[in-house]
């Protein structure tokens, strides 16, 4: 149990602080370049691990379409809009918006695919979660329609698409090895992201400081490659429900990290909003909790 808790905390810390270091890196380098460098480092780390484990890379090539779907929806689009969105909003706020993913998953599986049963409690959780997000973003920011709303909408769209991908991708790539499939779709995403970076920015003219490089190495190796490996180890060892607790801890780690490393302030209204979001996500997952999944 101690090992499971340690793994959960590590993954949550790694994913939560990723938003902090993205914000830090974007102070000197354009957002698409920041995300492309991060993805490239993560890809080579995963490729090396996959080769060391002697996984069947060539045999998985037949699943290229499924990997491409995940590369676009689950990696490239998400990381691009997160990078662009964090130009306008804080790292702490971005980490809270992670909770959009389980909300979108609930909507798709209950109302569209109908693979999960309808429940009043779940719908109430969805409504409560949305109210909490409104409080976190700020009613005044929403009504004003300024840069904060723009950044929040970009990032919300990314996690919404990520939630959609979480429903689609497993159906397209059943029976594939986790390490190999991830290496494929991250590699594809790296190509897509660099194309966007060279079209809309000038990566070769960027000034890569020592601190920037260290931040990118941390994001690539720790926040992505290591966290991914530990997360799937935890998923196989402790089950889906225990692993899903990251949706509660990532925002906490992100908000704390943004305060400690970036000096970002959190208002009382935002704290209340975060707690309301947690309640909403809890109600959405209530049946899974009772089943112990």
Instruction: Number of helices (H) and strands (E) in the chain: give both, helices first.
Output: 16, 0
Instruction: Write the pLDDT tens digit of every residue in 155-199.
Output: 999 999 988 988 887 777 778 888 898 899 999 999 999 999 999
**What mean pLDDT, rounded, does the chain reach?**
90
Q: What is the mean pLDDT of residues 53-60?
A: 93
Q: What is the mean pLDDT of residues 134-140?
A: 93
Which residue reads 């990314």 in tokens?
Answer: 158
pLDDT of amino acid 173: 72
DSSP H stretches of helix in the chain: 2-25, 31-52, 64-70, 77-85, 91-96, 100-107, 120-137, 139-144, 147-172, 178-200, 210-217, 227-238, 240-244, 246-262, 268-284, 286-291
How do the domains of the chain map onto residue ranges? 2-291
Q: What is the pTM of this model?
A: 0.90
Distance CA 138, CA 144 (A): 10
The closest alpha carbon to 5, from 283, 272, 274, 246, belongs to: 246
DSSP H stretches of helix in 175-285: 178-200, 210-217, 227-238, 240-244, 246-262, 268-284
């Amino acid at each position: 149990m101690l090992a499971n808790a340690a793994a959960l905390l590590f993954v949550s810390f790694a994913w939560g602080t990723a938003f902090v270091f993205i914000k830090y890196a974007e102070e000197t380098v354009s957002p698409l370049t920041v995300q492309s460098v991060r993805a490239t480092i993560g890809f080579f780390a995963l490729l090396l691990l996959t080769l060391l484990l002697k996984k069947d890379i060539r045999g998985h090539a037949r699943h290229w379409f499924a990997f491409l779907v995940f590369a676009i929806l689950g990696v490239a689009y998400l990381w691009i809009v997160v990078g662009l969105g964090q130009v306008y909003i804080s790292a702490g706020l971005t980490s809270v918006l992670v909770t959009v993913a389980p909300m979108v998953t609930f909507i798709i599986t209950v109302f569209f695919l109908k693979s999960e049963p309808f429940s009043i409690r779940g719908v109430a959780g969805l409504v409560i979660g949305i109210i909490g997000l409104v409080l976190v973003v700020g009613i005044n920011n929403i009504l004003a329609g300024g840069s904060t709303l723009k950044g929040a909408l970009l990032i919300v769209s990314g996690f919404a698409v990520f939630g959609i991908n979480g429903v689609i991708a497993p159906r397209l790539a059943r029976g594939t090895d986790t390490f190999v499939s991830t290496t494929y779709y991250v590699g594809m995403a790296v190509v897509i992201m660099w194309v966007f970076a060279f079209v809309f920015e000038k990566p070769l003219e960027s000034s890569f400081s020592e601190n920037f490089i260290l931040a990118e190495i941390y994001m690539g190796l720790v926040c992505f490659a290591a966290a991914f490996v530990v997360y799937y180890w935890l998923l196989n060892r402790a089950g889906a429900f225990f692993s899903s607790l990251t949706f509660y801890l990532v925002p906490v780690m992100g908000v704390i990290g943004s305060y400690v490393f970036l000096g970002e302030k959190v208002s009382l209204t935002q704290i209340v909003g975060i707690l309301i979001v947690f309640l909403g996500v809890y109600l959405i997952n209530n049946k899974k909790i009772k089943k112990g999944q």
